[in-house]
Amino acid sequence: MKLEIRGLTKRFGTFTANDRIDLTVEPGQIHCLLGENGAGKSTLMNMLYGLLDPTEGEILVDGEPVTFASPSGAIDAGIGMVHQHFMLVPVFTVAENVMLGREHTRGAGVLNRREAARVVRELSERYGLAVDPNSLVGELPVGVQQRVEIIKALSHDAKVLILDEPTAVLTPQEIDELMDIMRSLKEQGTSIIFITHKLREVKAVGDVITVIRRGRVVGSAPPSTPETELAEMMVGREVNLVVDKAPAKTGETVLEVSGVTVVDPRGHQVVKDVSFVAKAGEVLGIAGVQGNGQTELIKSLLGLVRPETGKILLDGEDISRYSPRDSLDAGIGYVPEDRSHDGYVASFSVRENLVLDLYRSDAFANGPALKLDAIRENAESRIKEFDIRTESAESPVSSLSGGNQQKVVVAREFSRSLKALIASQPTRGVDVGSIEFIHKRIISERDNGTAVIIVSTELDEIYALSDRIAVMYDGRIVGTVSPDIKREDIGLMMAGAREVPADQEATA
Amino acid sequence: MSEHRKGPSDGAEPPDQASGSNKEQWTDLQQEAKAKLETGRAGDDPDPNADGESADLRSPITWLPTVVETLVAVALALVIGAVLIALSERKVIEAMPYIFSYPQDFFRESWDAISSSYAALVKGAIGSGSAIGTTVERSAPLICAGLGVSLAFRAGLFNIGAQGQLIIGAMLAGYVGFSWDLPAGIHLLAAFTAALLGGAAWGAISGVLKAQTGAHEVITTIMLNFLAGSVLLYALSKEAFQREGSDNRLSPPANESARFADVVGNTHWGVILAFLAAIVVWWLLERSTLGFEIRAVGANPDAARTAGMSVPKIYTLAMLIAGLLAGLAATMSVLGRGDSLSPTMAGTIGFDAITVALLGRATPLGTVLAGLLFGALAVGGVAMQASAASTPKELTQVLQALIVLFVAAPAFVRGITRMRAQGSDSALMAKGW
Amino acid sequence: MAIATAISDEGAVDLRDRADVSRQIKLVVVFGLVVALLVWFALTIENSTVLYTLGERISKETPAKEVNGQALAWGAVAVAVVALLLAAVNKVPRGGLGILVFVLVGLAFFTGFLVWNYADQDLGRPLAMVNPLPGTMRLATPLVFGALAGCLCERAGVINIAIEGQLLMGAFFASVASSAFYSAEMGLLGGIAAGVAMAWMLGIFALRYQVNQVVLGVVLIAFASGLTAFMLSQIPDDYKQYFNEPLVLERIAVPVLSDIPILGGPLFNQTLLVYLMYVAVFLVTFLLFETKWGLRVRAVGEHPMAADTVGIKVNRVRWQAVLFGGVFAGLGGAYFTVGSTGSFDNDASAGNGFIALAAVIMGRWHPIGATFAALFFGFTWTLQAQLQVLDKIPGELLRASPYLATIIAVAGFVGRVRPPAADGVPYVKS
């Protein structure tokens, strides 16, 4: 099947997400769509899959123009999609998820679960996608859930498979497995549109690369194109890999974590006997694939979850039993992993969010009454200092772009004197300009003598900021290394290999 | 797309190689971004979380209805009420079979019924000084209890329990009022305090249960309403609560020494307290650190917790204050009008308070205005029943429900009247449980 | 979450699970209380003879018999003590067997409680313990119907607080239809029509206009209560027979089945409405969990976008579930007029809709669970009616026991129950 897109445009109000996009996917081709965060790749694919109506332009299947009013139209035309956020019902079994929408019945609408399970088994054998049709999807590891998504698309006889950022949640090894699956699908005649922002993956598996920037196609390139060139096309200017920073002037130990174990509400030990130290004036990066206990670990540092065992010493004071308020008062700064969930109150104004954890301090409150003038002045100066782009200080934070929302959170946390700063995914979903700004501020905070802990699933960010790198896998720290370790070695550690090359062991 | 409302921020795709060290590049980028800001948005895609969260029930900024929309909603409810009045008039029904031959009969009879009913309604509610006094007096408990519901709303709690809180408050105020013997001012103060404490304690139960066990407040407050009713019945079956020499479930009224004095006519000082309470609640919500916490917890409990606020404490406090305000509502009847305790004494004030708070969009000023409107409808309804058309006062309850319904559905009102969209479409849209 | 299970036990620290500890403490406290109360009951019984009958009242077919109350009470103590010991060593099984333990302890408690109530009567003529099942079935009927409506709506992702309003409207129009057509069965149809009409209002405002569904429910209740009161007051006395003097459903005894001892009468000598309830519980359960339609209903309630991406029309499925739920809510309403007392009175449903809502939540959004919760409420009400006469416990407090039980259950055991993930979230495509 040949898929063509001609002049496809999507506008949301005055904002143009996609501007006259042209794209041709030949049968049996892996077509990579490369672009920065917010470049408009997902919008394009949602139009292709019938989830969004195009403002202008047309889609052609085998030369015939088609319109999809809903995803079922796209499915019928042979287009399948694996979404970045899986479209799976967690409380359903694999078989139920796969048959949803095209249910196998015994007639009269009664489900035939056995037939559904058989179909899953057949597809999983044919394409080498190991999965048990009767297990509950919510209890499967993320990598397996992704396989379920692929099986679901294939069960609808997809001829063109769209994979939207499929590698974001996978370990390096799982990514390799996915690449193999993609190649085997290609051999059996399925075309694949592979959406990503990771250059290595594009080069490893792509036949053709189309680069999108700010909603426009900026060019096509063969996979042999050098990485730097692709990056330049993607970002629109020359990019540099490293953050400009002086060597760390490491001081005393500020934060000492020893033997911390955290149990989640379901009774699983998600952090197991973790110990590390963070010193004044250094950045400790915690690397690892999403879901290996980093989230719970830093939550326990702030007191959002109480560790079952272990001590957390901040300047010698055990804060492991502290409430979040006590921890904040003790000098911990905290940038949460998911800003819209934990970092700000969307309906509150920028002004209010800038004092969300400071409103009780003498600077902003007079006993039970808020000092509105002080809060107003604080907002004016922070907005200027952190270059927060907002219509006014009274606009709700929800009206800001992701990068500026993150700046509000960062500005707030940096506006008091800290002993230790804990920042999780500090630049997730943020544009390049804001990333550079936030990275600079983090380094300057380090240079002020704060102990900084950065948790990130992006190795590039870890490399750019860290003075030492701790790698987490399966709730444990499998090793602490210096940032000149090779990517492959750190990849192995992220997948659980505990052997650290001797010369790489960092001095803690 | 609704899914975006809950999921982590979409498009978590930090660029691979994006860390400029070059000063010139940095300024370049800033200028570029500035240019973009002027044309529309800076940086990246609009945050998909934005619309969902800002449309939250607990953030009044986004759902303050336009005055016009509220007026249209009221008008629409009155139109439907008019149809009901016409249909309930026997003469209109009798004219119906001849509607094609003698349409004027049908329309004349309808018009007579509708106009006389509504005229009586308006006249009864605000037609004279004493009518206005009665309306204000009737509104006072609605305003107090409505403020309690509003405040809980702002903390993200749906307090259906005003009824129960009010009953317990009334019970205690009544008991102190008729069985204790104290000097005038002190007696009033004691009975008044008892009402507030009773309501607060009853409200706090739901707050504590929510905070400690996660039990949903809608369920616990409903059950506590029934429970309060049972407690009242039990008390009224005891001699201590009954009138001397009577076995009826009726208590004596509070002693004069425990009653609010009258301001003018039969309007007592308690009414003033209702309006003062609105001001206090406004200050609390908008100007105090506690209010800041209440609003933050209501809009995003996770972020509030991360910012060091104690969500359980706020849940407990919010329900406690809500109960206290319901207790204040109880003093209006027991210590104001001097009502006796009886199984039906609370009427439907607690439930009307919910609709008052909803119509007032959980803001103190809105609650006061909505309380006055509902008070006027209740007082006018009695006059309407006594009017020539003898339209039953239950009609006002239908009107109240319709008004709130239409205010909560601005899209519906606009669809009917072909009004242009002005504010946020998603007025009272939010996730429920 | 998936991530959590992805984490293996490798390198785990040897710890005791906190949830397990709190479960043990909870069980020991509860079972301990039960044992203490039962021992007190057993000790305070002086005259050990207690009368009982298997019927709903003493009659020729169901004569009163005697039983040794003290022995029964001590038997109940024994059962509770065994459970307490199990809890103390943390060996109370989970799953099906665990439920059996709870049921046994519950039965033991009620046995002891009943015996204590009926023993040592100082009334002139001794009263006999009667079979609580018939009353339970009757009182539970509207609750079960209401809860089924709630389950259907909420499984599809639409919060239905308005069950009370649906019941009220159903009750009123069942009465009107039965009176006007002079047929109790037509009354049921009238109830269904009213229930569906209320469901339609719920659908219009929740699905088309995306009004907050909790708010909407409260408003619809106020609307229904006002409208029924208004209409009732509009019925002129001379027309009453055509509008509000309904025929009431007759009892129909199912041959053979109704002769089963103890259970037969209460279960199979009932009105058409009760038999419809049996069918409805089975039907809703089967539809939700074994059919294509049910799979889609649950999918739109859990993850509407996932359903949309495979071509399911989310709002259409939600509409179907809401309207179908209205059928049952209407039938439940009909109970209050044609199913029991006859003519409609103001506030006829008397808060049953709220209890049905509690049953939905206590039953964890499962029709079978909700049915058992509804039966539990019916049982406590029946008990209250019986024990009130004995005057050992004030009737007003007994009347409150279902509400208290709900609070304890929701706070202590059900706690943070998980509603369907997308319950109450409108689905809007951009």
Asked if C216 reaches chain B (Cβ–Cβ under 8 Å), the answer is yes
Residue C3 in this model has a pLDDT that exceeds 50: no
What topology does CATH give the domain A253-331+417-504?
Rossmann fold (3.40.50)
Six token digits for residue A309: 């065992």
CB B364 within 8 A of CB B147: yes
Residue C390 in this model has a pLDDT that exceeds 70: yes
Asked if B227 reaches chain C (Cβ–Cβ under 8 Å), the answer is yes
Phi, psi dihedral angles at A254 (to 5 degrees): -100, -50
Q: What is the rounded average pLDDT of the residues C88-94?
A: 80
The predicted pLDDT at position C417 comes to 61
Searching chain B, which residue's CA lies closest to the CA of residue A34?
B15
Which of chain A's residues have a Cβ under 8 Å away from the Cβ of C317? none
Where do the H-state alpha helices sit in C249-394?
A: 264-268, 272-290, 292-302, 304-309, 314-335, 352-362, 367-388
Touching subunits for chain A (3+ Cβ pairs under 8 A): B, C
Asked if B62 reaches chain C (Cβ–Cβ under 8 Å), the answer is no
Q: What is the rounded average pLDDT of the residues C273-294?
A: 95
Cβ contact, residue pair A75, C13, below 8 Å: no
Task: Calculate the average pLDDT of chain B.
Answer: 79
Phi, psi dihedral angles at A34 (to 5 degrees): -110, 135
Six token digits for residue B319: 């329900």
Residue C287 in this model has a pLDDT that exceeds 80: yes
Cβ contact, residue pair A370, B288, below 8 Å: yes
| Domain A3-235, classified CATH 3.40.630.30, yes or no | no
CB C295 within 8 A of CB A111: yes
Nearest residue, CB atoms, B303 vs list A244, A342, A387: A342
Residue B186 in this model has a pLDDT that exceeds 70: yes
Asked if B244 reaches chain A (Cβ–Cβ under 8 Å), the answer is no
Matching fold, domains A3-235 and A253-331+417-504: yes
Residue C115 in this model has a pLDDT that exceeds 80: yes
Residue B423 in this model has a pLDDT that exceeds 60: no
Which of chain C's residues have a Cβ under 8 Å away from the Cβ of B431? 423-425
The predicted pLDDT at position C414 comes to 58
List chain C domain ranges: 15-118, 133-410
Task: Tell me the C-alpha to C-alpha distance, in Å, between residue B265 and each of B334, C28, C272, C421.
Answer: 18, 62, 59, 55
Report the alpha-carbon distance of residue A121 to residue A131 in Å, rounded.
8
Residue B19 in this model has a pLDDT that exceeds 50: no
Where do the H-state alpha helices sit in C45-121?
A: 69-88, 96-118
| Most distant pair of Cα atoms in chain A: their distance | 74
Q: Which of A252-261, C103-112, C377-386 has the highest mean pLDDT?
A: A252-261
The predicted pLDDT at position C8 comes to 52
pLDDT in tens, B329-357: 999 999 988 888 998 888 889 888 998 99
Residue C218 in this model has a pLDDT that exceeds 90: no
Residue B120 in this model has a pLDDT that exceeds 60: yes
Cβ contact, residue pair B408, C414, below 8 Å: no
Which of chain C's residues have a Cβ under 8 Å away from the Cβ of A81? 309
A445 closest CA partner among A281, A302, A285: A281
The number of residues in chain A equals: 508
CB B78 within 8 A of CB B373: no
Residue C1 in this model has a pLDDT that exceeds 50: no
B350 closest CA partner among B111, B168, B103: B168
pLDDT in tens, B351-373: 889 989 988 888 899 899 999 99
Where do the H-state alpha helices sit in A386-486?
A: 402-414, 432-447, 459-465
The predicted pLDDT at position B11 comes to 35
Asked if C309 reaches chain B (Cβ–Cβ under 8 Å), the answer is no
Asked if B154 reaches chain A (Cβ–Cβ under 8 Å), the answer is no
More confident residue, B254 or A172: B254
Residues within 8 A of C (CB atoms), B 6-25 only: 6
Residue C168 in this model has a pLDDT that exceeds 90: yes
What dihedral angle (degrees, nearest 10) is formed by the CA atoms of B96, B99, B104, B110? 30
More confident residue, B17 or C105: C105
Chain position carrying tokens 């102990």? A451
Q: Tell me the three state secondary structure of residue C396.
A: helix
Nearest residue, CB atoms, C212 vs list B90, B351, B408: B408
Residues within 8 A of A (CB atoms), C 383-422 only: 421
The DSSP result for C159-204, as a single string, is ---THHHHHHHHHHHHHHHHHHHT-HHHHHHHHHHHHHHHHHHHHI
Report the alpha-carbon distance of residue A149 to residue A171 in Å, rounded.
18
Report the alpha-carbon distance of residue A484 to residue B254 in Å, rounded.
83
Cβ contact, residue pair B409, C416, below 8 Å: no
Q: What number is the ipTM of this complex?
A: 0.82
Asked if C365 reaches chain B (Cβ–Cβ under 8 Å), the answer is no
CB A160 within 8 A of CB A3: yes
The DSSP result for C111-145, as a single string, is HHHHHHHHSS--SSS---B--SHHHHHHHHHHHHH
pLDDT in tens, B45-84: 333 333 333 333 334 444 445 667 778 888 899 999 998 8
Name the band, by pLDDT with cuts 50, 70 and 90, for residue B150.
Answer: very high
Helix (H) or strand (E) holding A366: strand A365-366
Residues within 8 A of C (CB atoms), B 394-423 only: 394-402, 404-405, 408-409, 411-412
More confident residue, B73 or C325: C325
Residue B271 in this model has a pLDDT that exceeds 70: yes
The predicted pLDDT at position C265 comes to 72
List chain B domain ranges: 57-127+389-428, 132-359
pLDDT per residue, tens digit, chain A (508 aa), is 888 989 889 887 777 888 888 989 988 899 998 887 667 887 888 888 888 888 888 899 888 888 888 888 888 888 998 987 889 999 999 999 999 988 888 888 899 999 999 999 998 888 878 889 999 998 887 778 888 998 998 888 889 999 988 887 776 677 888 888 899 889 888 899 998 877 778 888 889 999 888 888 888 888 888 877 887 887 776 655 567 788 888 889 999 999 999 988 767 888 999 999 999 999 999 998 877 889 899 999 999 999 989 999 999 999 999 999 999 999 999 999 888 889 999 889 999 999 999 999 999 999 899 999 999 999 999 999 998 988 889 889 988 878 889 999 999 999 888 999 999 989 887 777 788 889 999 999 999 999 999 998 878 889 889 999 999 988 899 999 998 888 778 878 887 776 555 445 554 4
CATH no., domain C133-410? 1.10.3470
Report the alpha-carbon distance of residue A17 to residue A234 in Å, rounded.
16
The predicted pLDDT at position A488 comes to 77
The nearest CA of chain C is from the CA of B16 a distance in Å of 25
Phi, psi dihedral angles at B281 (to 5 degrees): -65, -40
Q: What is the rounded average pLDDT of the residues B214-231?
A: 89
A197 closest CA partner among A234, A223, A170, A150: A234
Task: Tell me the C-alpha to C-alpha distance, in Å, between residue C424 and each of B57, B430, C154, C159, C163.
Answer: 12, 7, 8, 5, 15
List chain A domain ranges: 3-235, 253-331+417-504, 351-410
What dihedral angle (degrees, nearest 10) is formed by the CA atoms of C113, C115, C116, C118? 120
The predicted pLDDT at position B45 comes to 36
Which of chain C's residues have a Cβ under 8 Å away from the Cβ of A263? 15, 17-18
More confident residue, B21 or C334: C334
Cβ contact, residue pair B30, A387, below 8 Å: yes
Q: Cβ of A447: how many Cβ atoms within 10 Å? A: 14
Exposure string (b/e) for C11-49, b if CB count within 10 Å is 16 or more?
Answer: ebbeeeeeeeeeebeebbebbbebbebbbebbeebeebe
Which of chain C's residues have a Cβ under 8 Å away from the Cβ of B400? 222, 226
Q: Cβ of C96: how many Cβ atoms within 10 Å? A: 7
Task: Tell me the C-alpha to C-alpha distance, in Å, between residue A125 and each of A133, B390, C401.
Answer: 12, 78, 58
Cβ contact, residue pair C425, B215, below 8 Å: no
CB B316 within 8 A of CB B177: no
Six token digits for residue C239: 């027309």
